[in-house]
Amino acid sequence: MSSYRQILYHIVFRTKDSQKTLNFENSDELYKYIWGTIKGKNGVLYRINGMEDHIHILCDLHPSIALADYLRDIKTASSIWLKECGKFPLFKGWSDGYAAFTYAYKDKDTIINYIKNQRDHHKTTTFEEELRKLLLEHGVKIDEKFFP
């Protein structure tokens, strides 16, 4: 029998010190760059979007790649690109950590819409409030030292 799996990851990571350094006018280029990195890792990108201080990704991770390695590679490659392209002059780097949540395939459209509507969502909710809510919904213990 062959091996089968379908695991959707909703990944969230933020800029160093949550600085608002990802300007909206050039963010589509950043997302395309990250998409290329994901494709290069045999992953499938379903949706990417974000704000000036963080990014949301919904993707399928190839089973041969560890999540921590995947995120390290995405963050490293995009950090180099962000610093070299000249369109994000205030960008200093990504924060050390990330949040990753798994979803069933049947939840895909719901998460896509959530990520797609980030700018509307953040008119009333801060990143910290959003992250706390996601962590609580998934039963993840919150380490207060990572929240201001």
Residue 33 has pLDDT above 90, yes or no: yes
On average, the pLDDT of the chain sits at 94
Instruction: State how far the Cα of 111 lies from the Cα of 45, in Å rounded to an integer.
Output: 12
* pLDDT grade for 101, boundaries at 50, 70 and 90: very high
Sole residue written with tokens 């809510």 = 133
Give the pLDDT mean for 90-102. 95
| Residue 61, both tokens | 């991770």
pLDDT band at 107 (very low <50, low <70, confident <90, very high): very high
CA angle 69, 46, 72 (to 5 degrees): 15
Q: From CA 31, how far away is CA 148, in angstroms rounded?
A: 27
CATH 3.30.1950.10 fits 8-146, yes or no: no
For 100-115, letters b (16+ CB in 10 Å) and e give: bbeeeeeebeebbebb
